[in-house]
Structure 1
Amino acid sequence: MASKTADRVRHHPVLTARALNRATLARQLLLRRAAMSAKDAVTHLVGLQAQNVKPPYVQLAARLDGFAPEALSGLMASREVGRMVTLRSTIHTHTAEDCLALRPFAQAPIERELRNFRAGLVGVDLDRLAAQAEELVEERPLPLKELKAALAERWPAADPLALSAAARCLLPLVQVTPRGLWGRSGQVTLTTARKWFAAVATTDGAAAGIAPDDAALRYLAAFGPASVQDMQTWCRLTRLAPVFERLRDRLVTFQDENGVELFDLPDAPRPAADTPAPPRFLPEFDNLLLSHADRTRVVPLAYRKRAWNGNQGHRTLLVDGFLAGIWRLTDGVEGDERGTLTVQTFDPLTRAQRDAVAEEGERMLTSLSSATAPTYAVRFADFAQFADA
């Protein structure tokens, strides 16, 4: 059987790293900005990585034509999208429908996180904890600190941090607004997805959870062509090979330059490898950089560690479709309203590339700024100086 599989893989058409890059950028709406709504984009991308509040806005500014932050913020305020722990046990911004459908799909890896808190949960009945936590946050949304204190009263011998972590692992908890709204601040305050998205949750089948086969098709539409291992990296589920075997007759197959089998949707875009790719500014933890086992389709091997500072992600810059630098924003000092967008590329750019990066930076800043916000100057800096600052 292994020999037959190897023969089959060897005879697939080969997609070079550059061809994979262009195909993935097309799915990610990064070859050219898309004329679609913010909600449609969040759906198509199967959510936006959102450990921090601002990254989802930066992600859409890079991908949508004419995007304004109010478009996403308004969806959050109306409960059409929300923030919750789903894929890879990290916070994502999803549509209400996907919050309800993707959390059951991603639940097993999320529950595995409980192993990190086992010592603090000795003697705690987890089913009872989940039921009590659910009752507490559905009575009224609770700040995380209050939820922790309330659970500690019921289990005084347990670690309060472990108790609150268990509640978040066991229950589909949503971070309620104003957390996540553009230009607003708010502490993490939680209720259940069922309570927050009541109108959607009462729809027949809305909360049944997405089937693995359907999740694979959506993953390929947003991140393909991709291997089984790529999808497993994206969602942190394992043993997904049978899913792709069931779908094989509906898909087309390729291989990368290392012979790894790749699956794709027959009608999905696969632009030519020499298709121009304009510069794009991405936030920290953009899913483009996190959703494949082999990241060389976007991240050159020489730069694989430069997008990170420990476990913290830098804001990243794409040039010609690949990771080429990092960036940061600093506000102006008192008496000077002009801030600075500082860009550091890992290798020198041509004059034309520098001009294109500066133009794209100004476009991003315009998209994300209000009429009364400070203006920013674009500056290129030495990488060592930038990284140490």
Structure 2
Amino acid sequence: MAVLSAQAVNRATLSRQLLLERADVGPVEAVRRLAGMQGQEPKHPYVGLWTRLSRFADTDLTAAVEAREVVRASLYRGTLHLVTAEDYLRFRTTLAPVLEAGLRMLKDRAEGLEPDKVVAAARKLLQKGPLTFTEIRDALQEQFPAVNDRALGFCTRMMVPLVIHPSQTRWGYQANARFTLAEQWLGREPLLDAVPEELVIRYLDAFGPATPTDFQTWSGLPGAKAVFDTLELERFEDATGRTLYDVPDAPRPDPETPTPVRFLPEFDNLLLAYATRERVIADAYRPAVFTKNLRVKATYLVDGQVAGLWTAEKKRAVATLTLTPFGRTLKRTKAALEREGEALVRFLEPDAKTHEVVTAGG
């Protein structure tokens, strides 16, 4: 079995994630190649595409959302993702067990909850048009007064195929968004049959080479090893002796391929798709990135590895991007970060009169 060095795994990952060089594709194709993008907050996929595509404007993604080519919905791990409409329809049923298992989180609040009845009632409500979850909970509470209102809302979110209705805002969605039935918005119902084998291939296309446990971490689906074993996949060994699987003929660049500095948004896919994340972030830096309140901070990459954090803010007419490095930064690397950072802050705050990049404590 061929052995892949840590740097070889890193370069293969960056290549799949469009981070070795910016891709000359549109946002829909990019979202498809990435097998979706974490969309916990609406701005993050915009930043993630800006850093990955050679020609990208926020209006490009907004237009794709409005054209119903991409949707924002609960999917992998039961969290909000931006995915192509085709992938949502293809994989929603495959991931239904993950979403339904989320009901266990309700614990005592699920007392009296009858999911089938709630799902039927919620569908009937939403057939009349998009609703916010406050409106959904209030309406369901009238029908099920003895059941916790949060349990009613969560059951609806997890068990009814819903997408978020876009709004006329810069990042495509408002804070208190409305939800609509997926089949109404897309004109088709999700595929009836689960296709976990297809999902494994799509995962490896976007994140490989990887282990079945990595796939489970990304998707939330258990029992991945059995699915991997049914597929014709290449096998490698990493530097720790683990078996990594990959699709045949997938790009695995030379480990010495140069890597540009790149800025990643909060909750970027790259940091959430693996059981262990040493391919892109040293264990020593993880506590600074993954917070106790379950946020994943915005980071930047140097030589393919997370090397620091970044934040951006606008005060009056000045937009500032602040770098917080985890260690010493070489002069040439700092110059590259400042060039890329200024381009990013101009993208984020185009109306500011002044754009600057500063280093915390420096």
> Structure 2-normalised TM-score?
0.95
**1:28 and 2:17 correspond:** yes
In structure 1, distance between residues paired with 2:100 and 2:207 = 25
Moved over 6 A (4+): none
Match of 1:327 in 2: 310
**1:234 and 2:218 correspond:** yes
Q: What is the correspondence of 1:7-22 to structure 2 with a 5 Å cutoff? A: 12-22=1-11
Would the aligned equivalents of 2:20 and 2:260 in 1 still touch at CA under 8 Å? yes
SS of match in other structure, 2:288: coil
**1:362 and 2:339 correspond:** no
Q: Which moved more, 1:94-103 or 1:151-160?
A: 94-103
Q: CA deviation at 1:369?
A: 4.7
Match of 1:302 in 2: 284
Counterpart residue type for residue 86 of structure 1: L
Consecutive unaligned residues in structure 2, runs of 5 or more: none
Q: What is the correspondence of 1:327-346 to structure 2 with a 5 Å cutoff? A: 327-333=310-316, 337-346=317-326
In structure 1, distance between residues paired with 2:110 and 2:142 = 14
In structure 2, distance between residues paired with 1:15 and 1:180 = 45
Would the aligned equivalents of 1:133 and 1:147 in 2 still touch at CA under 8 Å? yes
**Which of 305, 317, 331 is equivalent to 2:300?**
317
Q: What is the correspondence of 1:202-281 to structure 2 with a 5 Å cutoff? A: 207-208=191-192, 211-247=195-231, 250-281=232-263
- The C-alpha deviation readout for 1:130-161, integer Å capped at 9, x for no partner, is 00001101211111111010011011111111
Q: Which moved more, 1:99-108 or 1:83-92?
A: 99-108
Would the aligned equivalents of 1:177 and 1:186 in 2 still touch at CA under 8 Å? no
SS of match in other structure, 2:278: helix
Q: CA deviation at 1:266?
A: 2.0
RMSD: 1.7
Q: CA deviation at 1:83?
A: 0.7
**Which of 194, 197, 209 is equivalent to 2:183?**
194
Cα distance, 1:88–1:183 mapped onto 2, change above 3 Å: closer
Match of 1:38 in 2: 27
**1:377 and 2:356 correspond:** yes
Q: CA deviation at 1:273?
A: 1.4
Q: CA deviation at 1:365?
A: 3.0
SS of match in other structure, 1:63: coil
In structure 2, distance between residues paired with 1:348 and 1:209 = 52
Q: CA deviation at 1:179?
A: 7.5
In structure 1, distance between residues paired with 2:168 and 2:243 = 41
- The C-alpha deviation readout for 1:46-102, integer Å capped at 9, x for no partner, is 111001010000000110001111110001111111110000110000111112222
Would the aligned equivalents of 1:76 and 1:180 in 2 still touch at CA under 8 Å? no
In structure 2, distance between residues paired with 1:367 and 1:181 = 12
Counterpart residue type for residue 200 of structure 2: A
Would the aligned equivalents of 2:72 and 2:81 in 1 still touch at CA under 8 Å? yes
Match of 2:131 in 1: 142
Q: CA deviation at 1:360?
A: 1.1
In structure 2, distance between residues paired with 1:375 and 1:32 = 28
Match of 2:165 in 1: 176
Cα distance, 1:22–1:209 mapped onto 2, change above 3 Å: farther
In structure 1, distance between residues paired with 2:124 and 2:149 = 18
Q: Which moved more, 1:181-190 or 1:275-284?
A: 181-190
**Which of 64, 71, 74 is equivalent to 1:85?**
74
Counterpart residue type for residue 306 of structure 2: L
- The C-alpha deviation readout for 1:85-138, integer Å capped at 9, x for no partner, is 000110000111112222211111211111121422322321011000011012
Would the aligned equivalents of 2:319 and 2:345 in 1 still touch at CA under 8 Å? no
In structure 2, distance between residues paired with 1:292 and 1:37 = 26
Q: CA deviation at 1:184?
A: 6.2
Q: CA deviation at 1:212?
A: 1.1
Q: What is the correspondence of 1:46-125 to structure 2 with a 5 Å cutoff? A: 46-125=35-114
Q: Which moved more, 1:62-71 or 1:264-273?
A: 264-273
Counterpart residue type for residue 79 of structure 2: T
